[in-house]
Structure 1
Amino acid sequence: MFFGHKKERRRQVNEIRCDWVNEDPLYIAYHDEEWGKPLYDDRKLFELLMLEGMQAGLSWYTVLKKREHFRKVFDEFDPVKIAEYDEVKITALLGDPGIIRNRLKINAIIRNAAVYLQIVQEEGGFADYLWSFTGGVPVINNWKSRAEVPITTSQSDQMSKALRKKGMKFVGSTICYAFMQASGMVDDHTRECFCRSKSQLSGS
């Protein structure tokens, strides 16, 4: 069992991946185990969308390295708790070097938590609502290289417009498309990547 585990780890280290992945094991694990995998959990989708908003103007790698601390100080991204944050909590967050200390982004998460609760009440679930922008199924793309991958699509435009209309902040189309990629609503693993979905392989 031990030797088999070592062999499996060695195999994955040597696999060809999307070229945006660096050599940090944290980033490799994120690419291999999370990015592009369909996600249907309401709260996890909320967390991911909020972290994508935190990424604005930065790199996802920067956010990923801080993700565990974000979870800790944002009550595991519980929208009910976040929606009740007051100025004392905001001040504490702004003084925390373990997160991205941007008042606009922090205020947006608090605002977005309240909108999340509204969407769940009106639409019956956050996941169903967000997945409706892809017809409830992943969009499987067939890109040769990262240069071909768009930063927005008509679907991310529609998601962004709808979320902003409901009152969410930091949900522009570029952020929404990155979120759709990360949550598996869109599969943008390139052709040579070993994570490319079976449906892509069968359709190539």
Structure 2
Amino acid sequence: MSYCTAMKYMKPDDLVLHKIYHDTQYGFPIEEDNELFCRLILEINQAGLSWTTILKKQETFRKAYHNFDIKKVASYKEKDIQRLLNDAGIIRNKLKVNAAIENAKTIIGLQKEFGSFKNWLAHHHPKTKDEWTKLFKRTFRFTGGEIVNEFLMSAGYLPGAHDENCPVHKKVLKAKPLWNNKK
């Protein structure tokens, strides 16, 4: 079921939150590495939970992870891990916290080699969902098939974020997601 269809079945309070995300973020290309990292970490934290939970905690995540500044997160020490694990405003899962830190370190390496995380993604495009999943599992921590799929769809690297009859679909196409770029 697409996000567009799923929104029809949401509670009214949750619908407002999801509509903002659906209409302004989901499927649109992300240009900045810190925002790509943010989306990856939010998708990782969603595993086993609802996206509503993550959307409600999004601003607290930003504060807790220093606005997803890759260099800062990569330099986190044990005291930062304990701070995050004690923060009730985020998901307090040690595996997910450690994945954020290790993935930030990995992205720094990718930035050195490719100039940016975005360039690394573009370098590997196009790939199928399965190919992307294998690449992410080799490269990052805590990145299974659904996490990779949602991250790539939500950031404009894989199609399927919106139904073709969804009004936002046309806006996403105008924003030139990588999956729609003609070579």
TM-score by length of 1: 0.74
Partner of 1:99: 90
> Matched residues in 2 for 1:134 and 1:196: separation?
21
Deviation at 1:103, TM superposition (A): 0.5
Deviation at 1:192, TM superposition (A): 2.9
Is 2:151 the partner of 1:179? yes
Partner of 1:156: 129
Structure number with greater Rg is 1
> Retained in 1: the 8 A contact 2:45–2:96?
yes
TM-superposition CA deviations, 1:21-52 (whole Å, max 9, x none)? 23332210100111111222211111101111
TM-superposition CA deviations, 1:72-95 (whole Å, max 9, x none)? 010011111111111111111111
Could you tell which deviates more after superposition, 39-48 or 186-195? 186-195
Partner of 2:40: 49
Q: 1:90 aligns with which of 65, 70, 81?
A: 81
> Retained in 1: the 8 A contact 2:136–2:148?
no
Partner of 2:113: 122
Displaced runs of 4+ in structure 1, greater than 6 A?
A: none
Aligned residues: 165
Is 2:179 the partner of 1:193? no
> Matched residues in 2 for 1:48 and 1:76: separation?
11
Deviation at 1:155, TM superposition (A): 2.2
SS at match of 1:35: coil
TM-score by length of 2: 0.82
Structure 1 gaps of 5+ residues are: 1-16, 136-153
More helix by share: 2
> Matched residues in 2 for 1:124 and 1:156: separation?
24
Partner of 1:40: 31
